[in-house]
């Protein structure tokens, strides 16, 4: 006898299944495009009516995703909606919603819970629900499982529940959604089997794990690994600077070792939705087990202190020119959290801007990817990006190179800026008293 699981796997393998993606941001939108491009009909669901309207009109709101790709998806049946009841139409429900921290630096999974609560009344037999949002181990079992079973459907028999963490790296030209291996953990073996069938047609390599908890922990380990190593090199930067050593020269040299070393480079702090946040998801959950993750928390403290360190180097540079920070005009170059993207989530540039403003400096910014400072929950600036020209640079007492976009003309910046605070090692190896390494 054909089971519910077998019928769902068959629909997924034949590409008869309809894929529903909830949350159409930096994770959900590329995933939608991938499923559409390999032959599935996709329904996108988002609470933001402006996003829905743009997508249905064939427009993109993410810089590295072209309108042409959106238009092609529409031609193959893609549709966006803010109507959560339409989840009943889909065979797979993939959740790509934010998991930020609250003001106490504790996990805020209200978006996940709110989304599941909005969907659960419309779930039906023969669907698979996949959570992709980064979260602490146990979230899928503790929060999603009881909610999706409220209607009487049994997970593992009539519904299938998996956790498969997103691994997007916006703006990275070397990896696309399909080429990044996909970790999949199921609540039951049947759930895992369905999860593999869901992702295998769209992703080049699927990595099945024994449980949703193992998959949740995998995502945290990946990003904590980066956060800890970046914290290490940021601390090394401070030590090297005090000793008169260029940390970028040191990292470049160490990277020539063909084994046992992975290069991480210092910067003005951590940004993005994952690396500054994920460590706190594990440290919070570990306390439930009576554990204190000192090593992880220490790296977080070091990384969070970097914007203050950068402003301290700015003050030193201004002092050398006989100027106080108060009343000085400071131009921040790049406010996206990483190069060549328009993503500002957790950007250290914004924290630098706030510290300059709080000390009486007049702050402005230039970023080709962010023409207008966006509305943010915690940070407020009424600013637009200023054009980066020799005349503009001459108007400012100092520039802080915070994000190393390829579109910046670094020779022109060096030629015309009065003072450069270089947080990205662009001018490594150069001797110029106007360049302050930070």
Walk me through the domains of the chain, giving residue ranges and CATH numbers: 4-212 (3.40.50.720), 245-437 (3.40.50.720)
H-helix segments, 340-400:
348-358, 390-394
Instruction: Please give the pLDDT value at position 348.
Output: 95
Neighbour count for residue 94 (Cβ, 10 Å): 27
**How far apart are the two ends of the chain, measured CA to CA in Å?**
67
Length of the chain (residues): 438
User: Any idea what DSSP says for residue 431?
Assistant: -
3-state secondary structure of 157: coil
β-strand pairing of 159-163 with 182-186: antiparallel
Q: Which residues of the chain have pLDDT under 50?
A: none
For residue 383, what is the DSSP state? Answer: -
pLDDT of residue 395: 96
Chain-centroid distance, C-alpha 226: 13
**Spatial distance between the Cα atoms of 351 and 191, rounded to a whole number of angstroms:** 43
Quote the CA–CA distance of 46 and 34 in Å, as a whole number: 18
Catalytic residue among 93, 203, 274, 393: 274
- Decide: 184 and 166 in contact? Cβ < 8 Å: no
Q: What is the number of alpha carbons within 13 Å of residue 331 lying toward its C-beta?
A: 25
Q: How confident is the model at residue 270, as a pLDDT? A: 85
| H helix or E strand, kind and range, residue 332 | strand 329-333
Task: Report helix angle 294-304 to 278-288, nearest 10.
Answer: 150
Strand stretches in 107-187, DSSP E: 127-131, 159-163, 182-186
The verdict on whether 274 is a catalytic residue reads yes
Question: How much is the pTM?
Answer: 0.91
User: Can you give the pLDDT at residue 345?
Assistant: 86
Where do we find the tokens 């009065």?
A: 418
């Amino acid at each position: 006898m054909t089971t519910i699981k077998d019928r769902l796997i068959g629909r997924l393998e034949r590409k008869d299944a309809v894929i529903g993606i909830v949350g159409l941001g930096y994770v959900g939108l590329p995933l939608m495009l991938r499923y559409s491009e390999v032959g599935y009909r996709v329904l996108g669901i988002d609470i933001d009516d402006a996003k829905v309207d743009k997508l249905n009109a064939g427009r993109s709101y993410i810089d590295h995703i072209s309108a042409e790709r959106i238009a092609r998806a529409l031609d193959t049946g893609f549709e966006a909606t803010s109507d959560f009841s339409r989840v009943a139409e889909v065979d797979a429900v993939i959740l790509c919603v934010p998991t930020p921290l609250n003001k106490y630096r504790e996990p805020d999974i209200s978006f996940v819970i709110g989304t599941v609560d909005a969907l659960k009344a419309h779930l039906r037999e023969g669907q698979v629900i996949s959570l992709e949002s980064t979260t602490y181990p146990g979230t899928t079992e503790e929060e999603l499982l009881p909610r999706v079973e409220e209607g009487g459907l049994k997970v593992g028999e009539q519904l299938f529940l998996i956790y498969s963490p997103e691994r997007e790296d916006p703006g990275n030209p070397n990896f696309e959604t399909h080429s990044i291996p996909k970790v999949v953990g199921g609540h039951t073996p049947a759930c895992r089997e369905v999860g593999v069938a869901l992702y295998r047609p769209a992703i080049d390599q699927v990595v099945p794990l024994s449980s949703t908890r193992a998959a949740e922990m995998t995502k945290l380990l990946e990003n904590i690994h980066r956060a800890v190593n970046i914290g290490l090199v940021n601390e090394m930067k401070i030590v090297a600077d005090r000793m008169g050593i260029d940390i970028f020269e040191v990292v470049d040299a160490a990277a020539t070792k063909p084994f046992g070393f992975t290069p991480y480079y210092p910067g003005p702090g951590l940004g993005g939705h994952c690396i500054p946040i994920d460590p706190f998801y594990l440290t919070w959950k570990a306390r439930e087990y009576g554990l204190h993750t000192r090593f992880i928390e220490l790296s977080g403290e070091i990384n969070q202190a970097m914007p203050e360190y950068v402003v301290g180097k700015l003050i030193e540079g201004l002092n050398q020119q006989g100027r106080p920070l108060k009343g000085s005009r400071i131009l921040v170059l790049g406010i996206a959290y990483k190069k060549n993207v328009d993503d500002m989530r957790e950007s250290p540039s914004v924290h630098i801007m706030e510290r300059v403003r709080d000390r009486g400096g007049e702050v402005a910014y230039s970023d080709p990817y962010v023409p207008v400072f966006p509305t943010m929950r915690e940070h407020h600036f009424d600013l637009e990006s200023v054009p980066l020209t020799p005349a503009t640079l001459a108007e400012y007492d100092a520039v802080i190179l915070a994000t190393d976009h390829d579109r910046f003309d670094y020779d022109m910046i060096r030629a015309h800026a009065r003072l450069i605070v270089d947080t990205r090692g662009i001018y490594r190896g150069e001797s110029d008293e106007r360049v302050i390494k930070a």
